[in-house]
């Protein structure tokens, strides 16, 4: 039996799970490509890739390095128009992810390298619709998957088993940064809803894309919201330190809490594949014993096990009590919970001056110890060639793990405003930041910090209205997923991400100048472009014939209360806040000037005379995909792949 460090099966499960996430991401994006990025879409990619470079390797490398890192330069060089090229990239991603789900043979460095490259190619030209933090998270996690995936013919199963723990350590460090940074930036933002533990009183109705379960959670009493948020902050702030704990019990405690928290997130709102991806990252906290496999780890004595359990209880109990004390949780004589943070933002920044280098030191120590153990571990199998190959691969893994850890310190260092660093450390960090800037566009390592500030005066929501008259006859457009009609059930669409609906949520929180893309969206609706109209509800008015005028109004939405819901079919109530955008039309010169100045109006005509048969097949595939709603399309692909996977596994193939 091959010597295993106890995470080979965990790593295999991680690879399979990442293939599933890739499938979700590519399938969701594919369903929306024409309306978002097509020649007649909201942000046509063709306007950014208008010149086709010669099909020369040196020229293509130059474009990738100095313009945008995307394979669309290659498809352009092959005389394939941009819209067709994006379809090819997305469908190739779906196909490769499916192969990796179905068979273990496809879970290798070449397939995952291709998946990462394909998603980066779409991300780099995706503009605001692909600038979400979970897209960056997928690219960073995807790079780890790619760089540490097995190498066919070179890496035998025995060697993969020996190096699996090195492969999973960067996954653990990524999850630590994701959760810890997400919590700290909320507190550092100064938003009082996080400090007073009132954020969840507003979150369920103000989050990006609520679903119907959020309405029920919103009805819970305020003390429940506060205790729930305290648990979330504990899980984000405290349990990440257990990721590197010396005892398996603390790591499992952190694993269960992280998984439970992200399952709860999925039960309150539509966060596409983000929470599923975070759960996949928690696999780095497990070893093969947790999956029911036998390992060669030595069994501890009864006394050692007892000491370890006692240590776990003391640590968990002590940190839990400290968290409760810091947030001033009280239960008065009237059976009412009260909360008041016992520390200030200045205190937090002071502590982070020590916590930041402490977390870096803790992570580096565990990585160094892991690498040292592998350096001095004897294989005992194979001849000289096998030992040389093991040494080379171990050296490569060590170099990549240390390099990625070093690069990650650049975005991670933004947490500390007063880190206790020496002169030499500060100089090293400056050099690391310069190195990170050089590779930043590849999203190899990133910073994180979701939802820093919480809207407290209702949910700002943009409502588009169309009319054939400038001063009367206004009718509202309905979107597929975001709130609109007061009586429509908020839909559950995980793992699909409706990117237009999400960006409408962001646009509602800023002014018109901060969301220039919305001008082109309205321009396309006035033109009646079919690809864009597919992104909104087909029951909306003006779907068959566009209006002459469109305006945008800003409303404030609130969930209805339980007592009013029982006598009404409405899920929402709303009030008009203001006119966000005055009526515009295709004859409005000021509006057309804005469109032209942003380069969003006209897109150069692309040559579609090449590969006609290929485009016919791609059109047929898209017709089949669009015959289903996006969530059903995604889940159908997943279920088909799972059936094939289980069938091949049953046949021992």
Residue pair 222/201 in contact by the 8 Å Cβ criterion: yes
Hunting for tokens 């955008």 — which residue is that? 581
Distances (CA, A) of 90 to 94, 131, 146, 479, 608: 6, 17, 18, 24, 19
| Cβ within 8 Å of residue 251, ≥6 positions away | 242, 243, 245, 285, 286
Cα first-last separation, the chain: 20
Q: What's the pLDDT band for 175 if we cut at 50, 70, 90? A: very high
Alpha helices in 189-273 (DSSP H): 192-195, 200-206, 212-218, 222-237, 248-266
Average pLDDT over residues 18-29: 98
Cα gap 95→91, rounded to integer Å = 6
Query: Quick one: average pLDDT of 281-301?
Result: 81
| Cα 37 to Cα 89: distance, rounded to the nearest angstrom | 13
Q: What is the 3-state secondary structure (H, E, C) of 77-104?
A: HCCCCHHHHHHHHHHHHHHHHHHHHHCH
Once rounded to an integer, what is the mean pLDDT over residues 283-311? 81
Distance between CA 528 and CA 545 in Å, rounded?
7
Element (H, E) at 331: strand 330-331
Whole-model pTM: value is 0.94
The residues, ordered by sequence, that sit 6+ positions from 2 with a Cβ below 8 Å of its Cβ are: 157, 158, 161, 162, 381
Contact 390, 375 (CB under 8 A): no
CA dist 129 → 238, 487, 496, 503 (Å): 33, 28, 14, 7
Say how far apart CA 562 and CA 560 lie, in whole Å. Answer: 7
pLDDT at position 256: 96
130 or 162, greater pLDDT: 130
Query: What's the average model confidence in pLDDT over 162-188?
Result: 93
Lowest mean pLDDT among 276-285, 606-615, 641-650: 606-615
**Cβ atoms of 11 and 167 closer than 8 Å:** yes
83 contacts 603 by C-beta, under 8 angstroms: no
Instruction: Scan for tokens 């290798």, then name that residue.
Output: 108
How much is the pLDDT for 296?
62
For the cut 70, the answer to whether the pLDDT of residue 320 exceeds it is yes
Instruction: Report DSSP state, residue 208.
Output: S
Dist. CA 478–CA 489, nearest whole Å: 13
Token pair listed for 93? 């991603």
Q: What pLDDT sits at residue 424?
A: 55
In this predicted structure, what is the pLDDT of residue 3? Answer: 43
Tokens 């679903």 found at: 211
Alpha-carbon span 257 to 236, nearest angstrom:
9
pLDDT at residue number 500: 97
* Predicted pLDDT at 388: 82
**What are 68-127's pLDDT values in tens digits?**
889 998 888 888 889 999 999 999 999 999 999 999 999 999 999 999 999 999 999 999
pLDDT band at 526 (very low <50, low <70, confident <90, very high): very high
CA neighbor of 7 nearest in space, from 295, 404, 249: 295
Residue found under tokens 């007063």? 418
Q: Two tokens at 146?
A: 């790619």
Q: What pLDDT was estimated at residue 158? A: 77
Alpha helix locations (H) across 442-548? 499-507, 517-527, 530-533
Helix, strand, coil shares of the chain, percent, nearest 5, are: 60, 5, 30
């Amino acid at each position: 039996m091959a010597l295993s460090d106890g995470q080979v099966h965990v790593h295999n499960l991680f690879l399979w799970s990442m293939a599933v996430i890739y499938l979700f991401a590519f399938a969701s994006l594919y369903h929306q490509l024409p309306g978002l990025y097509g020649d007649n879409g909201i942000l046509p990619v063709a306007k950014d890739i208008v010149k086709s470079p010669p099909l020369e390797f040196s020229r293509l490398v130059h474009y990738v390095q100095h313009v945008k890192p995307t394979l669309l330069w290659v498809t352009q060089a092959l005389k394939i128009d941009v819209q067709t090229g994006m379809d090819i990239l997305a469908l190739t991603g779906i196909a490769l992810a499916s192969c990796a789900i179905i068979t273990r043979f496809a879970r290798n460095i070449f397939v995952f390298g291709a998946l990462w490259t394909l998603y980066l190619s779409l991300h780099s030209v995706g503009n605001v619709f692909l600038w979400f933090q979970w897209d960056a998270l997928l690219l960073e996690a995807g790079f780890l998957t790619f760089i540490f995936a097995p190498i066919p013919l070179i890496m035998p199963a025995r060697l993969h088993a020996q190096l699996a723990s090195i492969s999973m350590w960067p996954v653990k460090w990524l999850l630590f940064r994701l959760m810890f940074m997400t919590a700290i930036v909320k507190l550092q933002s100064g938003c009082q809803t996080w400090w007073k533990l009132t954020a969840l009183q507003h979150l369920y109705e103000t989050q990006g894309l609520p679903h119907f379960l959020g309405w029920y959670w919103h009805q819970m009493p305020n003390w429940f919201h506060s205790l729930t948020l305290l648990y979330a902050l504990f899980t984000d702030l405290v349990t990440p330190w257990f990721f590197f704990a010396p005892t398996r019990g603390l790591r499992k405690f952190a694993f269960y809490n992280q998984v439970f928290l992200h399952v709860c997130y999925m039960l309150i709102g539509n966060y596409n594949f983000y929470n599923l991806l975070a759960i996949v990252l928690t696999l780095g906290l497990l070893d093969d014993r947790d999956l029911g496999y036998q390992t060669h780890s030595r069994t501890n004595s009864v006394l050692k096990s007892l000491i370890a359990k006692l240590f776990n209880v003391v640590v968990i109990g002590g940190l839990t009590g400290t968290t409760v004390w810091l947030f001033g949780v009280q239960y008065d004589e009237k059976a009412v919970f009260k909360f008041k943070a016992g520390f200030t933002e200045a205190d937090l920044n002071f502590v982070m001056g020590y916590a930041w280098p402490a977390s870096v030191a803790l992570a580096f120590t565990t990585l160094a110890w892991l690498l040292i153990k592998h350096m001095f571990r004897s294989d005992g199998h194979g001849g000289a060639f096998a030992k040389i190959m093991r040494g080379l691969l171990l050296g490569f893994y060590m170099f990549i793990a240390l390099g990625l850890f070093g690069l990650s310190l650049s975005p991670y260092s933004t947490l500390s405003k007063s880190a206790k660093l020496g002169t030499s450390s500060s100089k090293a960090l400056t050099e690391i930041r310069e190195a990170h800037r050089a590779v930043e566009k590849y999203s190899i390592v990133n910073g994180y910090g979701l939802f820093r500030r919480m809207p407290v005066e209702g949910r700002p929501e943009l409502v588009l209205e169309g009319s054939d008259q400038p001063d009367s006859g206004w009718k509202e457009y309905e979107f597929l997923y975001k709130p609109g009609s007061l009586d429509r059930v908020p839909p559950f669409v995980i793992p699909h991400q409706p990117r237009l609906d999400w960006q409408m949520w962001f646009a509602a929180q800023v002014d018109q100048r901060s969301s220039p893309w919305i001008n082109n969206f309205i321009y396309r609706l006035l033109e009646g472009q079919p690809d864009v109209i597919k992104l909104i509800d087909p029951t909306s008015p003006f779907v068959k014939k566009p209006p002459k005028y469109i305006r945008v109004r800003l409303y404030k939405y609130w969930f209805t209360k339980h007592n009013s819901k029982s006598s009404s079919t409405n899920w929402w109530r709303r009030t008009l806040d203001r006119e966000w955008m005055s009526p515009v039309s295709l004859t409005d010169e000021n509006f057309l000037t804005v469109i032209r100045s942003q380069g969003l109006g006209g897109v150069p005509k692309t040559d579609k005379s090449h590969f006609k048969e290929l485009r016919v097949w791609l059109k047929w595939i898209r017709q089949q995909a669009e015959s289903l709603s996006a969530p059903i399309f995604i889940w159908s692909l997943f279920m088909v792949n799972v059936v094939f996977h289980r069938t091949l596994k049953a046949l021992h193939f």
